[in-house]
Structure 1
Amino acid sequence: MSNRIGDVVFRILGMVGVAFLAFCAGSFVILDKQFPYEVFRNAYFAGIALFNKKTGYLDPFKTDLWAKARDDARGVTAYERGAAQEGYTLYSSGHTQKAFLIDMQGKVLHEWSMPYSQVWDESSAISDPVDDRNTYFRRTWLYPNGDLLAIYDGVGDTPHGYGLIKIDRNSKLIWKYLQRVHHDLDVAPDGRIFTLTHEIKQHEIENAPNLSPPRIDDDLVELSPDGEELRRIPLLETFVNSQYRGMLAVLPCYWMDTMECNSDFLHSNDVEYVTAENAQHFDFAKEGEVLVSTREPGVLILIDLDTRKLRWAIRGHWIGQHDPDLLPNGHILLYDNNGHFGPGGRSQVFEFDPKTYEVSWRYSGTPDKPFHSIIRGGQERLANGNTLITEDQRGRIFEVTPDGRIVWEFINPVRGGDQNAYLPIVSWGHRLDPASLDEDFRHTLKTSAGE
């Protein structure tokens, strides 16, 4: 009997000892990042991404494509004639793969539609796309003849960029570029298209141990007017190899989320081509360069396409910024998603001098008209001096005067979810002068509007 007890005790102690040694070995592997740390880490992050993709986005109303409506206001809720900049407004909505062109009263003059499932094929960088319900036009660009560029975004996928298409005014496909295009695009005067792609990379970057793989890397991509890839510049490595590499030494954790903090080190979210006119007003910029906004480090960078180098960078007091616009007075207009700490919401739009950081104009919300879009967002300075602002996460586009008065406001009229309490986001509101559109296309707008 005593022998049996001793044998059991010996086995238990042996198991405890093995477990203790395994614990010590595991701790050493994790703390010292020894093999097979990277294998386990990569498998862990891949598992999280796959689990979230397959289970976390089954209900579109629980994704960040929808938000609880502040009230039941829909369509145009404010319009001050004579004070607002007249024109058409182009926007896209998170509930569908469509773009809408509306007049100042909110009447839909034209719409474009192309479900991602109709353009996807085996040439795509996305092998297993999310459902169309979780795909939308993140950014659109309208040509004078009614052709439209549109970037697809697949919410719930990692990475989420789904490609770029060009369709005509009748929503017929002209071409498609099915790399992981994301966030933004700009079109140069000669028709070349500049945009961003991202993908998961597994290689180490020399002298940058804090940017360890697997990570999501962004590329700046140049396309021909016909959608053919002309040039690709890896932004993270270009940043590391520049004199501004110190800005990447300590990176904030914007989302406070393990996956995001350890993988998406730049999260580039905007591109703007520097035209000859822009270059006249910014002595640090040259015609043909591209301004890029990188959200995670909070840095705006200039990329020289010919040398493939980062030539200039600036960091300010903004948090999670989007859409830096170069203004004719040498200032930059910026959408600061989370850098406002007063009443009326965390977001603000401000104009500043990049040489002195002096802020010359600012708009933030009020308690009765809050302004807060934790992610996404955009703005543009209008011809009359007003500013058009897109509060994406609240499905709202509004125009403010220099003194901050709202003279036009549009709320996404679509509702859904429990008791129709949710509205889809809106993306990249853009005001167009009707005279900038071809006459024959304008004629179809009048016809479709019943005018």
Structure 2
Amino acid sequence: MEQSTLIRRGIGLRGVDPYNVSLGYTLFAHLTSPGIVKLIDNYGEEVHRWVLPYRPGRHAQLLKNGNLAYNGVHPDAPRLFPLWQKYRGGVMMEVDPAGNVVSEHCDPLAHHDQHHLDNGELLYTTVEGVEFEKAKSVLGGIPNSEAPDNKVYADCIKHVSPSGELLWSWKAIDHLDPKKFVLQPHYPREHWPLINSIYPLQDGNILASLRSVSAVIIISRETGEVIWHLDSTIVAQQHCASELSNGDILIFDNGTFRHHESATYSRVIQVKREDKSIVWEYRDPHPMTFFTPFMGGAQRLKNENTLITEAAFGRIFEVTKKGELVWEYINPDFADYKGLDAKEIEKYFDYPANALFRAYKYAPHEIPWLHPN
């Protein structure tokens, strides 16, 4: 009998409503693959793949020019602490449909998120070591759980030119109030506040998701100060905060240690910036059956459907504005971390997994090279 619960329950395409699903193709990178990115159609058929020289450093996206933006794991990055091996990146590539590298920017301390801007510039997350005396200002977390060199690694955001010149930067240690952004008690003190997504807003400011303090913030591009703060009374270890066309914020809210609730479930919420009210929410009709303790993604599509990534279980699905499921796909590929130069986490994740960080969907006209005629 099949021993993997995920495989036993069914993999690949699980269902499609051809009348209400959005037209298009879904892109994803299997995290424990050696560097494979797939593009599939609404019937679960693979229509294109890239085979890249680095394992995924989280996710991939398509750019407006049709090329692939890929965040790969830097082969020579320092080994800061064990879980760094899970979510680090460092090689930010633009690759054409044939797999040719158009450009590449390397930063061995980069992690989680990157944005290839339309002008060739990059906005991405990285870390810096904070010496022990200064790190004492960081509050919370598991006592005496700093990184092996007795440091706390604090997040930074960098904006660089196509040639790699630093245009703008921001440091959490300089701009976050440690009393407002306290590490939750079950988190190691090795990394604060663990930025897992950044997003350039229409007004020029920066939206960021801070996982280990359960916060979504807006950073003033001009001053570096926090000018908007959604705290742990609303979100719980959330991911993938993005801005919608009307200025609202879409968030994948993981739900681990959510306030005042003992039953754990994930949800996707749309938050109005003006008063922080939730104006749209998706949760499963049986809430506890939709949950990922880490990672996760949400993308609002042109027809108002939402593509959701239940990341730890390799599940991608699409729902309508009314919350009706119209498409579901389970990544059929499973592998562990052996052979991927990540020995530090082989014991943490010693099982074949089909996990994804995020998936994205694109309309046919956004991929002209796929059907040139």
Q: TM-score scaled to structure 1, two decimals?
A: 0.67
Superposed, 1:39-438 pairs within 5 Å as: 69=6, 71-96=8-33, 97-116=35-54, 135-153=55-73, 156-158=82-84, 160-166=87-93, 167-173=95-101, 174-202=103-131, 204-205=133-134, 208=137, 210=139, 214-240=151-177, 245-248=178-181, 250-253=182-185, 256=186, 260-275=187-202, 287-315=203-231, 316-338=233-255, 341=261, 346-367=265-286, 370-415=289-334, 422-437=352-367
Rounded Cα–Cα distance in structure 2 between residues aligned with 1:391 and 1:232: 31
Give the direction of change, closer, same or farther, for the CA distance of 1:71–1:367 in structure 2 (3 Å limit): farther
Q: Give the drift of 1:322.
A: 0.7
Q: Could you report, residue by residue, the CA deviation over 1:31-79 in whole angstroms, capped at 9, with x for unpaired residues?
A: xxxxxxxxxxxxxxxxxxxxxxxxxxxxxxxxxxxx8516342222111
The answer for the alignment partner of 2:77 in structure 1 is: none
Amino acid at match of 1:271: I
Q: Give the drift of 1:157.
A: 4.9
The answer for the alignment partner of 2:344 in structure 1 is: none
Q: Could you report, residue by residue, the CA deviation over 1:191-214 in whole angstroms, capped at 9, with x for unpaired residues?
A: 422110124332543992648861
Query: Alignment RMSD, CA only?
Result: 2.9
Whether the aligned pair in 1 keeps the contact of 2:215 and 2:235 (CA below 8 Å) is no
Whether the aligned pair in 1 keeps the contact of 2:64 and 2:118 (CA below 8 Å) is no
Q: SS where residue 251 of structure 1 aligns?
A: coil
Q: Give the drift of 1:104.
A: 1.0
Whether the aligned pair in 1 keeps the contact of 2:73 and 2:89 (CA below 8 Å) is yes
Rounded Cα–Cα distance in structure 2 between residues aligned with 1:223 and 1:379: 26
Rounded Cα–Cα distance in structure 2 between residues aligned with 1:334 and 1:428: 13
Q: SS where residue 195 of structure 1 aligns?
A: strand
Amino acid at match of 1:427: F
Rounded Cα–Cα distance in structure 1 between residues aligned with 2:25 and 2:165: 30
Give the direction of change, closer, same or farther, for the CA distance of 1:442–1:251 in structure 2 (3 Å limit): same
Q: Give the drift of 1:223.
A: 2.0
Give the direction of change, closer, same or farther, for the CA distance of 1:246–1:307 in structure 2 (3 Å limit): same
Whether the aligned pair in 1 keeps the contact of 2:63 and 2:116 (CA below 8 Å) is no
Whether the aligned pair in 1 keeps the contact of 2:122 and 2:162 (CA below 8 Å) is yes
Amino acid at match of 2:223: T
Q: TM-score scaled to structure 2, two decimals?
A: 0.80
Whether the aligned pair in 1 keeps the contact of 2:66 and 2:366 (CA below 8 Å) is no
Rounded Cα–Cα distance in structure 2 between residues aligned with 1:175 and 1:139: 15
Q: Give the drift of 1:378.
A: 0.7
Amino acid at match of 2:230: I
Q: SS where residue 170 of structure 1 aligns?
A: coil
Amino acid at match of 1:158: W
Give the direction of change, closer, same or farther, for the CA distance of 1:162–1:422 in structure 2 (3 Å limit): closer
Rounded Cα–Cα distance in structure 2 between residues aligned with 1:325 and 1:145: 21
Rounded Cα–Cα distance in structure 2 between residues aligned with 1:415 and 1:402: 32
| Structure with greater strand percent | 2
Determine what percentage of the aligned residue pairs are the same residue: 25
Q: Give the drift of 1:396.
A: 0.5
Rounded Cα–Cα distance in structure 1 between residues aligned with 2:326 and 2:135: 52
Whether the aligned pair in 1 keeps the contact of 2:252 and 2:297 (CA below 8 Å) is yes
Q: Which has the larger radius of gyration?
A: 1
Whether the aligned pair in 2 keeps the contact of 1:223 and 1:229 (CA below 8 Å) is yes
| Structure with greater helix percent | 1
The answer for the alignment partner of 2:78 in structure 1 is: none
Q: SS where residue 435 of structure 1 aligns?
A: helix
Rounded Cα–Cα distance in structure 1 between residues aligned with 2:221 and 2:274: 23
The answer for the alignment partner of 2:345 in structure 1 is: none
The answer for the alignment partner of 1:119 in structure 2 is: none
**Structure 2, unpaired ranges of 5+:** 75-80, 141-145, 337-350
Give the direction of change, closer, same or farther, for the CA distance of 1:309–1:369 in structure 2 (3 Å limit): closer
Rounded Cα–Cα distance in structure 1 between residues aligned with 2:282 and 2:7: 20
**Structure 1, unpaired ranges of 5+:** 1-66, 117-134, 276-286, 447-451
Rounded Cα–Cα distance in structure 2 between residues aligned with 1:368 and 1:351: 17
Give the direction of change, closer, same or farther, for the CA distance of 1:410–1:226 in structure 2 (3 Å limit): farther
Rounded Cα–Cα distance in structure 2 between residues aligned with 1:307 and 1:416: 44
Amino acid at match of 1:436: E
The answer for the alignment partner of 1:11 in structure 2 is: none
Give the direction of change, closer, same or farther, for the CA distance of 1:443–1:358 in structure 2 (3 Å limit): closer
Whether the aligned pair in 1 keeps the contact of 2:153 and 2:192 (CA below 8 Å) is yes
Give the direction of change, closer, same or farther, for the CA distance of 1:361–1:309 in structure 2 (3 Å limit): closer
The answer for the alignment partner of 1:43 in structure 2 is: none
Q: Could you report, residue by residue, the CA deviation over 1:111-132 in whole angstroms, capped at 9, with x for unpaired residues?
A: 122233xxxxxxxxxxxxxxxx
Give the direction of change, closer, same or farther, for the CA distance of 1:195–1:170 in structure 2 (3 Å limit): same
Q: SS where residue 71 of structure 1 aligns?
A: helix
